[in-house]
Amino acid sequence: MFKGSNVALITPFKDDKLDTENYIKLINFHIENGTNGLVPAGTTGESPTLSHDEHQKVIELCIKEAKGKIPVIAGTGSNSTAEAVELTKHAEKAGADGALVVTPYYNKPTQEGLYQHYKAINDNTSLPIIIYNIPSRCVIDMTVDTMARLFELKNISGVKDATGDLKRLDQTIEKLGHEFIQLTGEDGLAFEFNKRGGVGIISVTANIAPKLCSDMQRCSKSKFDNEIKEAERIDQLLQPLHKSLFLESNPAPVKYAAKLLGLCDDSIRLPLVKINKETQEEVTKALRAAKLLS
């Protein structure tokens, strides 16, 4: 159901308010450039600093503008189970195709706590749920065994794996099989992840290089050698860009890149701040290397 290049959408701001005009333009930019899915209100969309009204609005706008042309996987995670349930219910009512639910941060639940958190969300929706496992931000790491338990529930469909550990992909395939959707959250590992059995990505880089990212994803799963080689070529072309976009906390660098490409302003909400001059130079250099900026 969910595969290929899914973009972790940035949320553009103007005067510290949601920039609706550029947000809608961004969505159409992705549809026109082959992006396979839209993921609003995730970490890259600055969900921690969106108000509840803004959170719901960016999801509603994304669904309305996508018009069913490509799937919308709404970010509905929270470290409060009750809040995650309500956000997921709202996304379903708004017409989302799936929900991306991050592991609860700060609380540090046990594996049983993780299971019960996702079970509660599962029991209150009919949306397919993608687990977002990102130990670097959430401290906790969901085990393959816990995922296997969750996969027995009716709506748990897959994982956005941001562990950075390709062995985890192998272990998950071995335990859960290929029906369990595996999307990477690591742009730099996207090509290798697909080679080893993954089916796609939820990408930061796709915000500013949607066609290159979608072409790489498509070619990486091809049966033809020439297309596999093309996927590898694109992957190598994008590696400096992937690296530059994480020199400072995401999404500050990708918002600066979006500004250089005329997509939106690089305004970002505290406690994050705009990137420093050295990072700006690296992002600019990487955009030029990828032939996205003259």
Res. 284: pLDDT tops 90: yes
What is the pLDDT at residue 197? 97
Is this model's pTM higher than 0.75 or not? yes
Condensed to tens digits (0 to 9), the pLDDT of residues 130-142 reads 999 999 999 999 9
What is the pLDDT at residue 246? 97
Condensed to tens digits (0 to 9), the pLDDT of residues 233-269 reads 999 999 999 999 999 999 999 999 999 999 999 999 9
- Contacts for 242 with CB less than 8 Å, ≥ 6 apart: 187, 188, 205
Known active-site residue 115: no
Res. 199: pLDDT tops 90: yes
For each of the domains in the chain, give its residue range(s) and CATH number, in order of start.
4-227 (3.20.20.70)
Condensed to tens digits (0 to 9), the pLDDT of residues 209-239 reads 999 999 999 999 999 999 999 999 999 999 9
Work out the pLDDT band at 109, boundaries 50, 70, 90: very high
State which amino acid sits at residue 117: H
Known active-site residue 132: yes
Q: Mean pLDDT score of the chain, rounded to an integer? A: 97
> What percentage of residues in the chain have a pLDDT greater than 90?
99
Choose, from 23, 115, 118, 132, the residue flagged as catalytic. Answer: 132
Res. 24: pLDDT tops 90: yes
What is the pLDDT at residue 1? 78
Res. 171: pLDDT tops 90: yes
Condensed to tens digits (0 to 9), the pLDDT of residues 158-168 reads 999 999 999 99
Q: What is the rounded average pLDDT of the residues 60-83?
A: 97
- Pick left, alpha or beta for residue 230 (phi over 0 → left; psi -120 to 50 → alpha; otherwise beta): alpha
What is the pLDDT at residue 285? 98
Choose, from 23, 57, 115, 160, the residue flagged as catalytic. Answer: 160
